[in-house]
């Protein structure tokens, strides 16, 4: 199983661009409609004119910030707004409303919510085959079926099994400081808390981002949101909101991702013939789970096996 296999069977060539000794992050898909056309996913801007950059969401490890000046970049309206607020610069690419279709010469691209963070979107490319690119996923239920699934495996190991603790969050938040990632988790948490009667305050970056999405966060409140690394300097009642276990601070499990079982459910739901993991590493257990059952000729093309170009 290699990039040529995908070209032969599904009409696109997955590869990673070279960068010095290594490869640029994430993945590119090459199509041939008489001329070569590249779809770059969550990576640096392409070169030449015959390409697009798809940005699944505004987290910095998905490289939207390097595509603000890229007229061929495509992001949801919310992702574009978030990138602009974060970088103090206008996004000049094309934007779409999640759920709407993007028409390009030769390709139809449908968009779907993934509920990972505000604005996060999956893309279904329909050409010779149905190729679904998800980015990071929190809720897969609105995703369509596809032939090839290009997805993440942030929690690709069986020990990453968790239940979210929304009730604990609502019960424990009073007079506490909560550590949350400013992009994504802060907006979700602020929304949950204010819907449950809390007045929420936040550090500057969090306040700015929340305000851009009309979420009520002010300077004073009965619960404060700060970045995880700033949590250490606060005394008193505090929690880190994550499914990760490496913090030494009391934890409330709130996650922007599917857990191990959720990833399996997503793959079953999308029913692909092949999966390419382009972000995060799948464990042997995850791969084994599918080799033995569900998918026809299930194979995984992980990042290191992709062709470089």
Binding site for Zn ion (CB under 5 A): 59, 136
Minimum CB distance to Zn ion smaller for 31 or for 181: 181
Q: Residue 185 CB, nearest distance to Zn ion (Å)?
A: 10
Question: Order of strands across the sheet with 274-279?
Answer: 101-104, 107-113, 121-126, 130-133, 148-152, 274-279
Nearer to Zn ion, 206 or 295 (CB): 206
Nearer to Zn ion by Cβ, of 136 and 147: the residue is: 136
131 versus 153: smaller Cβ distance to Zn ion = 153
Q: How far is the CB of 122 from Zn ion (least distance, A)?
A: 13
Residue nearest to Zn ion (CB): 59
Shortest CB 235 distance to Zn ion, Å: 31
Going by C-alpha positions, the residue among 109, 17, 107, 21 that lies closest to residue 63 is 17
Pairwise CA distance, residues 235 & 231, whole Å: 8
> CB of 42: closest distance to Zn ion in angstroms?
8
Which two three-digit tokens encode residue 116?
């990972």
Q: How remote is the C-alpha of 151 from its chain's centroid?
A: 9
Give exposure, 210-245, as e/b (b: 16+ Cβ within 10 Å).
bebbebebeeebebbbbbbeebeeeeeebbbbbbee
Whole-number minimum distance, CB 18 to Zn ion, in Å? Answer: 22
Q: Which residue, 7 or 132, is less far from Zn ion as judged by CB?
A: 132
Taking alpha carbons only, the member of 37, 58, 47 closest to residue 17 is 47
């Amino acid at each position: 199983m290699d990039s040529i296999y995908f070209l032969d069977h599904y009409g696109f060539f997955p590869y990673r661009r070279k960068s010095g000794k290594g490869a640029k992050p994430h993945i590119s898909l090459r199509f041939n409609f008489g001329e070569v056309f590249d779809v770059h996913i969550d990576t640096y801007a392409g070169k030449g004119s015959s390409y697009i950059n798809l940005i699944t969401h505004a987290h910095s490890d998905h490289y939207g910030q390097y595509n603000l000046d890229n007229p061929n970049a495509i992001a949801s309206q919310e992702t574009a707004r978030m990138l602009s607020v974060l970088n103090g610069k206008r996004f000049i690419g094309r934007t779409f409303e999640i759920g709407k279709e993007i028409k390009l010469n030769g390709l139809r691209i449908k968009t779907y919510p993934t509920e990972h963070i505000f604005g996060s979107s999956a893309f279904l490319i329909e050409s010779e085959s149905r190729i679904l690119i998800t980015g990071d996923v929190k809720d897969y239920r609105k995703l369509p079926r596809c032939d090839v699934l290009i997805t993440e495996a942030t929690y690709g190991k069986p020990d990453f099994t968790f239940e979210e603790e929304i009730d604990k969050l609502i019960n424990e938040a009073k007079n506490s400081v909560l550590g949350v990632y400013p992009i994504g988790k802060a907006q979700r948490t602020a929304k949950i808390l204010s819907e449950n009667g809390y007045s929420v305050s936040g550090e500057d970056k969090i306040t700015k981002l929340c305000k851009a999405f009309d979420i009520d966060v002010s300077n004073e409140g009965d619960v404060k949101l700060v970045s995880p690394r700033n949590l250490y300097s606060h005394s008193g009642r505090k929690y880190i909101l994550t499914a990760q276990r490496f913090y030494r601070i009391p934890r409330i499990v709130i996650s922007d991702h599917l857990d191990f079982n959720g990833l399996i459910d997503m793959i079953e739901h999308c029913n692909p013939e092949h999966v390419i993991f382009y972000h995060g590493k799948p464990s042997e257990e995850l791969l084994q789970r599918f080799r033995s059952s569900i998918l026809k000729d299930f194979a995984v093309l992980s990042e290191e096996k992709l062709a470089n170009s």
